[in-house]
Chains A and B, each alone.
Chain A
Amino acid sequence: MVNVQNVTFSYTKRTELLSNLSLKLEAGRIHGLLGKNGEGKSTLLKLISGLDFPQQGSIDTLGFNPTKRYPEMLREIYFIPEELPQLTLSIENYEKVYAPFYPNFNAEQFNGYLKEFDIVDKKSMLTKLSHGQKKKVFVAFGLATNTKLMLMDEPTNGLDIPSKGQFRRMVASAIDESRCLLISTHQVHDLDSLIDSIIVMEKHKIEFNQPIEEITKKLLFRVADRNEKDESVIYSEDTLRGLYQVCENKTGEESKLDIELLFNAIISDKERIIKLF
């Protein structure tokens, strides 16, 4: 679906934002793109969708070179940026203007998502909506386009607590074998139980890209006693409830993935984790 090969990109000549980056994304999955601020997560989304052009390397998005911005490719991509566009349109008119460009857009689905998000008045102007409400409209519209590739940059920013749950439910129901979602986020807890593949960017490269089932097969996430000594521990965090640990899964025991803990473990001992996969 998406194949990024040895891509290098920089906004200025002095600093390289992405360096020799490679990544493959498969259909039927919700990929979570994690990384510290300024690692180039948003830029990667822009490169995949053809909004920025790589200085070196190549990108294949849905079989197209994204820099050409062919309509055949663009009609199968919906991109929700972190900052939303300022459009002097009502929700109804936004649908009227933009939906015809997406051949698989489903108006019923759109109305259903809006209803689930408690947005009832389609005559509301987008400029009058709060950031969170506007985000809901764009998420609902994006899911209803039924595009093969959906890119979301910090989609849960600005959403209230109930809306985050609704967002997870909607995304989970909208994904099928033909669609691929790439979600860039810092709010890892918002996407717990939603994403099924984790991509970690560090030092302007993809350092980790594994499906959840593979992660939980190789790593064990547990809360341990402070006095317990175990050589299989890769990373641990001291909390009031005990030691939160990421360990090598030597016994094949099943555990629930803690994305934040995994991310911190990768940042602190990248070599050891990568060696396991």
Chain B
Amino acid sequence: MNTTFNIKRLGLLLKGYFIENKQRELTTWGIITIAFIFAHEKTIFYLILFIGGILFATRLFKNLSNTPNAIQYLILPATQTEKLVASILLNTIYYLVMTLVVYIIGNLISYGIYYLSILPSFINEPYFSNTFNLFSTIKTKSVMINGHFLKETMSYQFSLWILLRKFAFVQSLFMFGALFFKRNSIVKTLLALSAIGFVLLIIELILLKITFGTFHLNSSIIKPETGDFLGDSNYFVRVYGQYLLIPFFWVASYFRLTEKEV
């Protein structure tokens, strides 16, 4: 028997989740589908995806805040890796896929109702085409033209991969928060983030003052010899930071789970 990872045990963990939460899952996704029939805006989609996702991620480890439930969870014959992978699959892949599926279903129903004119005055005109343009967005970007920075507005396709990256980052962060804080993990994670952000900002300002003698500097990376614009440092930090932080929070969550006592 594999002591680290066994796909059969992972399957049992996932099956167990769905047996235990069948009723809750059906109700939640039913309500969200109904919400998407009446509200097709992307904002609503992102709100349900991210806010709902955070609630979902923290709920998966709610067991650990209650001693008898924590005993049941920790003593279940599966490795901590299997328990963590099951949680990641549920709070990242499953939740994202389900939100997309019910968004499309909600929009399709809405479209059907509108064009069959059952409730023409009550339901807004559905943005059926927008359902499948969910990932297109308008962005502004700093570019250097003739030695001057200009903001360029551009529309580009927001790929499923980018959405998955952003979502996985948020989920990994709040999953770690749920494992780190015993109670009120969402609020405490947000407070911890604010505190860390504030400390980093102070350090950044001090470094700027020491290095460049100013507190103001834009985020462009410029080649010192030629002055050529190489990119937006904020963008690099944001994108590659997320790629690095997702596995970081997963590994940190693994150690937190491994070291968990009741």
A88 within 8 A of B: yes
B219 within 8 A of A: no
Once bound together, how far apart are the Cα atoms of A52 and B70, in whole Å?
12
B75 within 8 A of A: yes
A168 within 8 A of B: no
Q: Which residues of B contact A101 (CB under 8 A)?
A: 9, 12, 76-78
Once bound together, how far apart are the Cα atoms of A264 and B77, in whole Å?
39
- Chain B residues with CB under 8 Å of chain A are 1, 3, 6, 9, 12, 15-16, 19-21, 23-24, 63, 66-69, 71-72, 74-80, 258-259, 261-262
Interface of B, secondary structure class, is helix
A49 within 8 A of B: yes
A270 vs chain B, min Cβ distance (A): 31
Q: Which of A79-87, A170-178, A182-190, A235-243 contacts B (4 or more CB under 8 A)?
A: A79-87
Q: Which of A25-33, A65-73, A155-163, A245-253 contacts B (4 or more CB under 8 A)?
A: A65-73
B2 vs chain A, min Cβ distance (A): 9
A86-B1 in contact (CB<8A): no
A81-B6 in contact (CB<8A): no
Q: Which residues of A contact B258 (CB under 8 A)?
A: 69
A41 within 8 A of B: no
Once bound together, how far apart are the Cα atoms of A101 and B71, in whole Å?
15
Q: Which residues of B contact A46 (CB under 8 A)?
A: 71, 261-262
A100-B261 in contact (CB<8A): no
The 29 sampled A-B contact pairs (Cβ below 8 Å) are: A50-B74, A52-B262, A69-B75, A71-B6, A72-B1, A74-B76, A75-B77, A77-B75, A79-B71, A79-B75, A81-B67, A83-B67, A83-B68, A84-B68, A85-B71, A86-B68, A87-B20, A88-B23, A89-B19, A89-B20, A93-B20, A96-B19, A97-B12, A97-B20, A98-B16, A98-B76, A100-B12, A101-B12, A102-B77
A53 within 8 A of B: yes
A51 within 8 A of B: yes
Known: A70-B3, A71-B3. A51 touches B261 (CB 8 A): yes
Once bound together, how far apart are the Cα atoms of A87 and B68, in whole Å?
10
Once bound together, how far apart are the Cα atoms of A71 and B75, in whole Å?
9
Q: Which residues of A contact B23 (CB under 8 A)?
A: 88
Residue in contact with A52 in the complex, picked from B6, B20, B79, B261, CB distance below 8 Å: B261
Known: A51-B75, A85-B69, A86-B68. A93 touches B261 (CB 8 A): no
Residue in contact with A86 in the complex, picked from B6, B24, B66, B75, CB distance below 8 Å: B66
Known: A79-B71, A85-B71. A97 touches B19 (CB 8 A): yes
Interface residues of A in 98-133 (CB under 8 A from B): 98, 100-102
Residue in contact with B72 in the complex, picked from A69, A85, A88, A96, CB distance below 8 Å: A85
Once bound together, how far apart are the Cα atoms of A69 and B23, in whole Å?
31
Interface residues of A in 19-71 (CB under 8 A from B): 46, 49-53, 69-71
Closest 8 CB pairs of A and B: A74-B77, A75-B77, A97-B16, A85-B72, A85-B68, A71-B77, A101-B77, A85-B69
Residue in contact with B74 in the complex, picked from A69, A75, A83, A98, CB distance below 8 Å: A69
Residue in contact with A88 in the complex, picked from B12, B20, B261, CB distance below 8 Å: B20
B79-A71 in contact (CB<8A): yes
Residue of A nearest to B262 (CB): A51
Q: Which residues of B contact A96 (CB under 8 A)?
A: 19
Once bound together, how far apart are the Cα atoms of A100 and B77, in whole Å?
10
Once bound together, how far apart are the Cα atoms of A49 and B71, in whole Å?
10
Q: Which residues of B contact A102 (CB under 8 A)?
A: 77
Residue in contact with A51 in the complex, picked from B19, B24, B74, CB distance below 8 Å: B74
A85 vs chain B, min Cβ distance (A): 4
A102 vs chain B, min Cβ distance (A): 7
